[in-house]
């Protein structure tokens, strides 16, 4: 299938395109510039592939969790492009995309993704490789205080008879003292952020199965929906 994927859910901004068997991508760390970079990146990969948006079969977007603002920017751009070209959409989890990268780049089959969610919490998920070489969530993605993650994962660790798994994401650096025993890799994780390329891999089977949404029904997955009250003094 000919697909384009865009993601702005974390500090990284990325776009990836597969068209007639060729891949083109752009990636940049830009914590405050997603809205300025995302559309130019889309234009760049389309020009590199010598194709029009209307020639594609669908669009993939990073649905979160991550930065509330970044997730909204990514989905807003995805909806606009999909409306313009009449394309179906598929949303892909930020955490799952990082786990998929761990398989594709590091040959890891059991992965804990942990993103610093601020406010002394981490977005997290545990992923296991399936028979189609896609990293699938074993537990529902959640947001927790880092000190609660060992208990949260205890059942999965027992089921798979493991003591730790491969760690990806910014949460390991932010809460190293509380999370270090849960991962087998030490130091700064090789994979800190998602990439749209991995989202293409995950989304392809969904498109083939017709598991898509129209532009107006594309939705974010924040995991943590109630946040604003915690930022108000005295509340």
49-82: pLDDT as tens digits? 999 999 999 999 999 999 999 999 999 999 999 9
pLDDT of residue 230: 38
Whether residue 235 has pLDDT greater than 60: no
How far is CA 196 from its chain centroid? 8
What is the C-alpha separation between 18 and 66, in angstroms, rounded?
25
Element (H, E) at 34: helix 34-49
Average pLDDT over residues 11-25: 97
Q: What is the reported pTM? A: 0.93
Determine the CATH number of domain 95-182.
3.30.420.40
Average pLDDT over residues 26-52: 95
Same fold: 3-94+194-231 with 95-182 = yes
The model's confidence at residue 84, banded by pLDDT at 50, 70 and 90, is: very high
CATH topology of domain 3-94+194-231: Nucleotidyltransferase; domain 5 (3.30.420)
Contacts of 214 (CB under 8 A, 6+ apart): 82, 88, 89
Residue 232 has pLDDT above 60, yes or no: no
* Contacts of 92 by beta carbon, 8 Å cutoff, 6+ apart: 5, 60, 61, 62, 63, 199, 202, 203
Encode pLDDT of 95-110 as tens digits. Answer: 999 999 999 999 999 9
Share of the chain above pLDDT 70, in %: 95
Q: How far is CA 32 from the centre of its chain?
A: 18
CA atoms of 70 and 78, how far apart (whole Å)? 12
Model confidence band, residue 210 (pLDDT cutoffs 50, 70, 90): very high
Q: What does the domain layout of the chain look like in residue ranges? A: 3-94+194-231, 95-182
Average pLDDT over residues 118-146: 97
**What per-residue confidence (pLDDT) applies to 233?**
41
């Amino acid at each position: 299938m000919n697909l384009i994927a865009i993601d702005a859910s974390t500090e990284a901004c990325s776009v990836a395109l597969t068209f007639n068997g060729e891949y083109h991508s752009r990636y940049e760390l830009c914590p405050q510039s997603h809205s300025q970079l995302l559309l130019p990146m889309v234009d760049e990969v389309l020009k590199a592939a010598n194709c029009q948006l209307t020639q594609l079969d669908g669009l993939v977007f990073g649905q979160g969790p991550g930065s509330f603002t970044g997730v909204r920017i990514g989905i807003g751009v995805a909806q606009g492009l999909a409306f313009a070209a009449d394309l179906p959409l598929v949303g892909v989890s930020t955490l799952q995309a990082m786990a998929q990268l761990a398989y594709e780049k590091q040959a890891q089959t059991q992965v804990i993704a942990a993103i610093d969610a601020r406010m002394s919490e981490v977005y997290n998920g545990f992923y296991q490789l399936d028979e189609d070489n896609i990293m699938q969530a074993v537990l529902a993605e959640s947001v927790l205080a880092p000190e609660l993650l060992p208990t949260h994962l205890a059942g999965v660790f027992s089921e798979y008879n493991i003591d730790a798994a491969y760690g990806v994401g910014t949460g390991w650096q932010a809460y190293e003292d509380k999370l270090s025993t849960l991962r087998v890799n030490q130091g700064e994780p090789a994979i800190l952020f998602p990439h749209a390329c991995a989202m293409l891999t995950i989304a392809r089977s969904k498109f083939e199965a017709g598991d898509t949404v129209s532009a107006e029904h594309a939705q974010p997955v924040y995991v943590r929906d109630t946040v604003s009250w915690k930022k108000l003094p005295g509340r």
